[in-house]
Structure 1
């Protein structure tokens, strides 16, 4: 089936479609203890991420990813439009000099728990929150109502985990690189379970991306309408 099966679910989606993605090391780390993570994935994995951005209407990241990695969230490595940038920032931590705020014509939305000051040229979106965490289902609904139906949840790990725990993802891509970091931040983190029978075992396909291996999980059967929050 090749890469067509990898991109078809999001490219052919008619209604709301939410895809989460993480890149991690062989030992499940997404960054060193200092937060450095830019060279975990190889060039093919980076191109894959940019292709997902090109297929998405909106790319969502937590403000922690912005302050640590300062990503551009563009499609500069592939052909295709850059998506609307959505920053989950319930407490107003978004730096005014962040790369995502560059005036390049791409809209940027700051998702807040209550109305507050924000950098110039940034649209504010106030949504229900609890303990500094945004309701992820409310966020998906709000973006869909704006015509942003194909949504990429790019990071960081806490944000992707919140959407996964809430049953708010249709698909999850985890790209594993043949590198051992040995310390630092781990990837997916969900509520504790007592027995392996409680572990998630969704249908999965694998794809080679250069030296990296991509796990493509179909989560449609785990979708839930219940509320959950993202930091």
Structure 2
């Protein structure tokens, strides 16, 4: 099922779309709520073959991401994203508080000088399979269950929830988001699509292959056109239906 909507302002900077954030604000308090965010081209690429990705999505999409951060208790990234992009993971483009910063680092690859470890008063957490030493900027180590050479997504969510982080944003990278989707550990997926065809490069979501389209996820989705042309697909994965029962 597909719904459409639009938001933006004449000045080119989007105003908050309440519908896109309502599910996060209204999430039940007795269980975790996980939203994942992915930015990509029309043909599903998040970067070129060389890894270049600035800027596939434009200003309004970046602003939307910062709003997402402001709506959650913790933003979660894999260590590969930290090594490749060195993100700050803060709220800078919108009003609001920066969430706790959580890095999944099963094998101890986190650089000591990573920007996400800067002491700005926000909690800085590393998730490991064991509580071995971490860089000095890390405030807390949390231990989650190991799985397939990494950490189990459901264990990560449960561990963070037990530590007081109820609303989580899985921000990257694409492999981390794909693994969380594969394990059914995402409630809501925000896909920001830029009107751009790259033609080759790094794909976004990659899940295990299926034999027939009827086995595909078909979430109930609301579509929002951003002011500068990017499109937000707000997908409710808890209301996903089979291909046989719903057609777009």
TM-score interval (norm. to shorter): over 0.9
Structure 2: gaps (5+ residues): 8-16, 241-248
Match status 1:34 vs 2:54: no
Match status 1:211 vs 2:229: yes
Residue aligned with 1:216, SS:
strand
RMSD: 1.3
**Selected match of 2:238 from 217, 220, 226:** 220
**Structure 1 residue 130: deviation in Å?**
2.3
**Structure 1 residue 125: deviation in Å?**
1.2
**Selected match of 2:36 from 10, 20, 41:** 20
Residue aligned with 2:45, SS:
coil
| Aligned counterpart, 2:246 | none
| Aligned counterpart, 1:172 | 189
**Selected match of 2:174 from 157, 163, 166:** 157
Map 1:64-213; keep pairs closer than 5 Å: 64-122=80-138, 123-209=140-226, 210-213=228-231
Whole-angstrom distance in 1 between the partners of 2:106 and 2:160: 16
**Structure 1 residue 174: deviation in Å?**
0.4
Match status 1:4 vs 2:18: yes
Q: Which moved more, 1:31-40 or 1:161-170?
A: 31-40
**Structure 1 residue 182: deviation in Å?**
2.1
Query: What is the number of equivalent residue pairs in this alignment?
Result: 222
Higher CA-based Rg: 2
Residue aligned with 1:169, SS:
coil
Please report the TM-score for the alignment, with normalisation by the length of structure 2: 0.86
Q: Which moved more, 1:50-59 or 1:117-126?
A: 117-126
Structure 1: gaps (5+ residues): 223-231
